[in-house]
Amino acid sequence: MAIIRLANGSDLGVKLSLEEVKAALGTGEDFVELPGEDGPVLIRPGAVIAIIEDSKRGTAGFRIGATAG
């Protein structure tokens, strides 16, 4: 399972591995149908900003670091 982070900040869980999601999205701009947790979802590849492989605990996280300066 993988988590897809969209440009609007939403996260989607899909029933594919990280490599399968990368292959499915390719480089096109047409909608791609992926098997989501609650049914099929249509995603434009340009709207995806990150793909995270879900850990065995069933969670995924993002960390952002910033320094004062």
What are the residue ranges spanned by the domains of the chain?
2-53
pLDDT for position 37: 84
Whether CATH 2.30.30.100 fits 2-53: yes
pTM over 0.85: no
pLDDT for position 16: 93
Residue ranges of the chain whose pLDDT lies below 70: 55-69
pLDDT for position 2: 92
| 45: its two tokens | 């590849």
Q: β-strands 48-53, 2-6: how paired?
A: antiparallel
pLDDT for position 26: 86
